[in-house]
Amino acid sequence: MAGLPPKVYQSYTLPQPETGTLRKSLNYKEYDIVMAPRVAIVFYSLYGHLQKLAEAEQIGLQKVGIKADIFQIAETLPADVLVKMRAGPKSEYPIAEATALEQYDAFLFGIPTRFGNFPAQWKAFWDATSHQWSSGGYWGKYAGLFIGTATQGGGQETTAIAAMSTLVHHGMVYVPLGYKTTFDLQSGLSEARGGSPWGAGTYSGIDGSRLPSQLELDMAVTQGESFGKTISKVTFA
Ligand SMILES: Cc1cc2nc3c(=O)[nH]c(=O)nc-3n(C[C@H](O)[C@H](O)[C@H](O)COP(=O)(O)O)c2cc1C
């Protein structure tokens, strides 16, 4: 994978005091101010729904001046099984590599539910991150979630709760969507929609034929925007 562009820095040097033990003891040195957090949106998608949400999240981040990179989780199922499952074609997004992701400050993870939990493809990714787990490669990074299920009640919240254990073991800081920025979208009962205070979401329908609705896409854009605002308050080392 090509290297990331360097972080945008605005550097300044505090004036060195000429005398005075108190001021000397403050250990003046050059400080760097990070101008924009680096965000990776990482999704797995078999039928395209999570990809659409990932792209909506990216638009939301762009609205607050953050240019996020999108990655997809590697497939682990054999080709003949994918044919039987009527999986769609894979997108062109680069495959997420555990080491390359260490360069980012924050993540939005897109998870299509499997029995109320991560799919095996996502789990295979996490199971290859023991180096990051032991070295703290993701420690202190911020993370939000967006989730797909086939049905209402199919497990969007349980998938988010199940993901907490992985975030906690890596020392990542979970940023929920909450209600504040999407209150109207979440409180309406006029149409079926995915998404919850845990993160944006979509229903694919039992045969995968339902596409993300405008309301679900709006919620994902707003999540990208509010996530961007939250992490912009943080100074990442
Ligand atoms: C093996 C398997 C298990 C699934 N388990 C659930 C489930 O527990 N609840 C649910 O609502 N949908 C379930 N689904 C449907 C997927 O969550 C749905 O196809 C996915 O969110 C669509 O997103 P995608 O197009 O990005 O792959 C399951 C699908 C498969 C293949």
The whole-model pTM stands at 0.88
Choose which residue among 52, 204, 206, 210 to substitute to test ligand 1 binding: the one with the highest number of ligand atoms within 8 A of its C-beta. Answer: 204
Q: What is the pLDDT of residues 101-134, one digit of tens each?
A: 999 999 999 999 999 999 999 999 999 999 999 9
Amino acid 236 reads F
Nearest protein CA to atom 7 of ligand 1, as residue: 115
Q: Where are the alpha helices (DSSP H) in 87-141?
A: 120-127, 130-135
Residues lining ligand 1, CB < 6 A? 45-50, 112-116, 148-151, 154-155, 204, 208
Cβ proximity of 66 and 37 under 8 Å: yes
Q: Which atom of ligand 1 is nearest to the CA of 110?
A: 26
Among 229, 202, 228, 75, residue whose Cα is nearest residue 148: 202
Angle, in degrees to the nearest 10, between helices 214-232 and 49-63: 50
Q: What is the pLDDT of residues 31-61, one digit of tens each?
A: 455 578 999 999 999 999 999 999 999 999 9
Homologous superfamily of 36-232: Flavodoxin domain (3.40.50.360)
Q: Which atom of ligand 1 is nearest to the CA of 46?
A: 27
Q: What is the pLDDT of residues 64-95, one digit of tens each?
A: 999 999 999 999 999 999 999 999 999 999 99
Distance between CA 58 and CA 40 in Å, rounded? 9
